Structure 1
Amino acid sequence: MTGATGTGSGTEDGTEGGGEIRVLVVDDQVLIRAGVAALLRAAPGMTVVAEGSDGEEAVALAAEHRPDVILMDIRMPGLSGIAATERILRDAADPAPRVLVLTTFDLDEYVYAALRAGAAGFLLKDAGPQRLLAAITAVAGGDTLFAPSVTRRLVEAFTERLPDEPVTEAVPEGLDGLTGRELEVLRLTGRGLSNAEIAGELVISEATVKTHLNRAMTKLGLCSRAQAVVVAYESGLVTPGTPR
């Protein structure tokens, strides 16, 4: 694995780290699943609560064990990792797990769909053990793995590629329910700015940016910062090619 992308900066999505991280590992390839699970079991501060081989198992195991982080293979027979992510996050009790989808290619329409469904980030399958452990720890604590602009580039690649697709029900209604400041913070988030950059742009504190973004995400029923970026594009709040 050569990289990963997350969805926030610091605890931008309101998640606090600390304590042992409970992980659910889902992959239809038994050797990959067993290898990842063995690595996590040997790592301090990590507990593998269960292993799943497909999306249906992932949904059932997530409900049963309520993990902090789910490592979700994105392409599986039957119920895909994308559909499983959507169902898990839709039905999860608060706090919802953070889903890290596992993929082979970073600019992948499946990754885009997973972020659209609420995944917290993605991890390339050829990453090394330390990158994997760091990614899980970061996502569990609400930290970013790469700059928000990485998510923007991924989202923009597919909104540009599919310009004539109609807005689907995956885009929450109610942008008009946001305050002017919440709308502006969402727009700047969609443009790939970090909380610190948004604070500088609007001449407000980072804490205030976090408050406005969290309120906007709550109103829109969003699970992650990446999902907020997707909504900003698909709603027309941000258009491909808009300068940061």
Structure 2
Amino acid sequence: MQNQSSGAPLRIFIGYDHRQAVSYNVLQFSILRRCSKPIAVTPIVLPTLPMTRSGLTPFTYSRFLVPWLCNYQGWAMFLDIDYLCLADLAELFALVDDRYGAMVSKNVKRFEWASMIMFNCGHPANRVLTPSYVQDPEQCRNPHAMDWLPDGLVGDLPREWNHLVGYDPPRKDAKLVHYTQGMPIFEETTGSEYRAEWLAEHEASNSTLGWQELMARSVHAANTPDGRKVAKLHPAALSAN
């Protein structure tokens, strides 16, 4: 059980990369429309943090500041930007166990364990994860292998919560889909598993109802001489009112 207030939002951090903002937008949308509990989604933006160390992505190392960002209290989740959420993350938070310092899906590619981490931010072992520690490659050498924690403090989560497209055998019940070799929108990733699902989510995340459905009954609408509803800024509305 997680040791934070039952009414507190579930804290979800996503590594942000300005080069692929569309990935962030689709992921956070896929999370919020499926979660059954209040959530707080926070992008980890490297220029806003007291460290500069980066790798293939700006969040290669900054992900390990989640416990620090949470003031070493409660549970919080980290996700790479190249995911799609197809399930209720409240279900995942319900699986956490206070015995562990962190929980990951221990899939076949160990370097991908850190792509989705459930951090027990209040665990004493995580207090080493300070900006100065994570910044220093001599101290923080291989954090993606969870090397700051003894093996006994790294819990295991079901594989459907970190399905590695292109590495794991195909499955139809993935709850978190990780496009490890690139988002399924590129020519190079044609044929990606869960491509149709990502494209559908992208379309939904960029959709809206029309102005009439959203605004026609609001105080910002006005009638035209011929009885149409338009925004008050419309010339026909200005001449009629």
TM-score, structure 2 normalization: 0.33
Larger RCO: 1 or 2 (CA < 8 Å, sep 6+)? 1
- Pick the structure with more strand per residue: 2
Report the structure number with the largest CA radius of gyration: 2
- Pick the structure with more helix per residue: 1
